[in-house]
Homo-oligomer: A and B are copies of this chain.
Amino acid sequence: MTEEQAMKYLQDTLFVVGGKWKLPILRAIHSGNYRFRDIQRSVPLITTRVLSKELKHLEENKLVIRTVYHSPLAVEYKVSDYTLSLLPVIKEMILWGKNHREKIREK
């Protein structure tokens, strides 16, 4: 793998999980909020417009599965099994972020 390719993959990952809302949304769904309004309520301050867009993005990237049920009518969002593959990345990012806070507070 050339460094350029590596950079491309890096940017891809940032594109898929980056931004303000994608990971909080995944967390909300993962912890049991399957309905649009429930997700919205569990991701404080997000607007319907942004939530709608982000859910589409996550669905296009196969991280979220959208299912429509009839009688009773309902739309359900679930995280896919594929989302599990993100765990190592997320874990490392959390660890680094935590350590970084301490590092920055140092004088």
CA distance A14 to B100 in the complex (A): 12
B86 & A89 in contact (Cβ 8 Å cutoff):
no
Size class of the contact patch on chain A = 35 or more
A62 engages B14 (CB within 8 Å): no
Pair A27/B7 contact, Cβ less than 8 Å: yes
- Which residues of A from 2 to 22 have beta carbons under 8 Å from B? 3, 5-14, 16, 18-20
Complex contacts, A61 vs chain B, CB 8 Å = 100, 104
Question: With A88-B92, A99-B85 in contact, do A24 and B9 touch (Cβ < 8 Å)?
Answer: no
**A90 interface residue, CB < 8 Å from B?**
yes
Query: Which of these, B14, B62, B101, contacts A104 with CB under 8 Å?
Result: B62
